[in-house]
Chain A
Amino acid sequence: MVRIISRRLVQLVVTLLALMTLVFFWLRSLPGGPVDALLGERATPQTRELLTRALGYDQPIWVQYGRFLKNVVTGNFGNSIRTGEPVTDVISRSFPATVELALAAIIIAIGLGVPLGYLAARHRGRLLDNATIIVTLIGISIPIFFLGYLLKDWLTQGVHIFPPSGRISTGLDNTDVTGFFVLDGLLTRELDASADALWHLVLPALTLATIPLAIIIRITRASVLDVLDEDYIRTADAKGLRNPTIRKRHVLRNALLPVVTIIGLQTGALLAGAVLTEKVYNWGGLGTLITDSISGSRDYPVLQALILLAAAVFVVVNLVVDLSYAVIDPRVRVR
């Protein structure tokens, strides 16, 4: 086990290094670098040159690259071009918001997706199955930002069930400990803040969960159908095992493996979805940060760090997914 983990950690570093290099040259190869973006096209050559030198963009690209690598390793991503703050500060401020949102979304997607997929498979060809298939098809065909506006319109305007935007009600005096508002409320015993944050979380999480939910339902359904066809299910039935035992120990356990893989893969898609969802609900997380760093001035230091962070989170989540195979499938442990 230790050997597997250490081998993957090495791979993780190699992947990130490759990506880092790519990101660095990619963002720098484009016309109209950060200096032009900051000053606009009518800036005088003098100011342009001054800023280029101040930001270190006048040095040979290799020097810039070396400095970049050194900084990344030491956790120093420089300052945001837009606000002048250290990139790490800017990102760590937005990070908890997105993690909170993504976690809620994936909980919804798994919590609804696996049971629904399982039920659809067991009632194959019947009303429940067909209805589920249609809903999942619409789920992957609808632009999710539009779905976000729909939910917002129905549930916050007509009937005031949920708050329309933001992470917490203004005027609520919540103590910020970790940046995860729901958790903060629990930690400081400000339960009203926790509940309020949770209330704000429902619609954005539901919107973000749409695509993973649809995909998890489809995969679970297909996987359960495959397993139900297997000889060992017939054997289990023939030797007189009770139905709940068969379902739990034989069907579900075997069907879960592909589902777990998909869940890991969907975390990547969640980040892309968060860019859209956060804009709809004015969420103020990493997704908003990506949009802000692109529109207006191209904020390279922030963009670089964000892409690396996205990749790192994704790599770690999938490492966890790989390791969870060992728990679900004993055959993996032996190898």
Chain B
Amino acid sequence: MTRPGGLATLADHKRKRIDELIARTTEPGGVSLIRDAGRRLLRNPTAIVGAVLILLFLIIAIFAPLVAPHDPVQRFPELTKDLTVDSIPGATAGHPLGSDPLGRDFASRMIYGARQTLFVGVLATLIGLLLGVLLGALAGAIGGWVDAVVMRLTDVMLALPSLLLAITLVALARQSTQWTVIVAVAVVNVPIFARLLRGSMLAQRESDHVLAARALGVKRRDIVLRHMLPNSLTAVIVQATLTFAVAILDAAALSFLGLGDPDINRAEWGLMLGVDGVRYFEVRPELAYFPALAIIFVALGFTLLGESIREALDPKNRR
């Protein structure tokens, strides 16, 4: 039976999922397990679909300047001359998706949006990952009171619904900027990565390769950095893939609540959907449809790939 107590239960649940991931990725037989999982992954259509979606997203983001017909912040006065309260100009020659309320080429903003969305998602994931990995590695490698403090801290954070925590964090800043959003979304993920790393470290502490290194007189710092950390990477990568999807969804939600990036020039899908998309929904719903679809596809891609990797690493599926 799970440990009693309400808030503890949520934390318990999240902990259990993290532990499962650790158990799957620190299975003895390291490399061959990963190779085996990789083979299963290539045969899994779900994983392929996820990977293709992500690849498309990356290609658009990287080659945005080559693909986009216009500059995403350039305003075309001729596009807004017919602008009224209940009409925003649709497609015209040279502007396949029409313009946004400020007369900027919507297609170009969508294409450049891939870049900004990638930027927000990657940074939020990366910051959460780095802080979490650092805390978790310290807790796992040092143990004692450091471990106790870090773990109690993660307990409290895991016990709150993540979006609520992010909202509270943004509320702490005096003014919202792009960075407030990134940091708030990132911090929510710190406890997950911290737990993951600590568990992985503890699992390895008594493993043969660490014992061997210790017996050979390798310094503790080197054991942690060269022998233990690399072995924890698989679990971290799986979690990061899933985190990315949540991060862009959370960022969009914050924009919608008016807690997002205030820069009107920024073309980011969450921002486009959460601000102009819903404001002009009745006038021109395409302003919401396109960024929403883009977000759904990208979130879907990362979720599909992440879950497929997790599944492929499950020893139960080994043949």
Binding site for B on A (CB under 8 A): 4, 7-8, 11-12, 15, 18-19, 22, 26-27, 29-32, 36, 137-138, 140-146, 149, 153, 157, 261-262, 264-265, 268-269, 271-273, 275-276, 279-280, 290-291, 294-295, 298, 303, 307, 310-311, 314-319, 321-322, 325, 332, 335
Give the distance to chain B from A138, nearest Cβ to Cβ, in Å.
Answer: 7
Q: Does B304 reach chain A (CB closer than 8 Å)?
A: yes
Q: How far is the CA of A307 from the CA of B7 in the complex (A)?
A: 13
Interface 9-residue window, one of B102-110, B196-204, B270-278:
B270-278
CB distance from B285 to the nearest CB of A (A): 7
- Asked whether, in the complex, the Cβ of A332 is within 8 Å of the Cβ of B1, the reply is yes
For chain B, the bracket of interface size reads: 35 or more
When chains A and B are docked, how far (Å) is the Cα of A299 from the Cα of B252? 24
Dominant secondary structure at the A interface = helix
CB distance from B47 to the nearest CB of A (A): 13
Closest Cβ neighbor of B168 among chain A residues: A307
Q: Once the chains bind, are B257 and A291 in contact (CB under 8 Å)?
A: yes
Q: Top 5 closest A-B pairs, CB basis?
A: A315-B6, A318-B6, A272-B163, A141-B299, A11-B5
Say which residue of B156, B159, B258 sits within 8 Å of A295 (CB atoms).
Answer: B258
How many whole Å from B3's CB to the nearest CB in chain A? 9
How many Å lie between the Cα of A135 and that of B11 in the bound state? 28
Residues in B whose Cβ lies below 8 Å from that of A143:
249, 252-253, 256, 270, 273-274, 292, 295-296
Contact of B156 among A18, A142, A157 (CB under 8 A): A18
Q: Are B300 and A275 touching (Cβ within 8 A)?
A: no
Most buried by B among A143, A294, A314: A143
Q: List 21 A-B contacts (CB under 8 A).
A: A4-B4, A15-B5, A137-B304, A141-B300, A144-B253, A153-B281, A261-B2, A275-B257, A290-B167, A294-B167, A294-B171, A294-B257, A295-B259, A298-B171, A315-B7, A316-B6, A317-B6, A318-B6, A318-B10, A319-B6, A322-B4
**Across-interface contacts of B170 in A (CB, < 8 A):** 294
- Contact of A12 with B5 in the complex, beta carbons under 8 Å: yes
B5→A8 contact, CB < 8 A? yes
Q: Tell me if B4 and A275 are in contact (CB < 8 A).
A: no
Residues of A within 8 A of B252 (CB): 143, 145-146
CB of A322 within 8 A of CB of B9, answer yes
Q: What is the CA–CA distance of A153 and B286 in the complex, to the nearest angstrom? A: 12
Which residue from chain B places its CB closest to the CB of A30 in the assembled complex? B172
Contact A146 B288 (CB under 8 A): yes
Question: Among the listed B156, B168, B245, B282, which residue makes an inter-chain contact with A153, where contact means beta carbons less than 8 Å apart?
Answer: B282
Partner of A145, one of B8, B168, B174, B256: B256
A316 to B282, CA, bound (A): 41
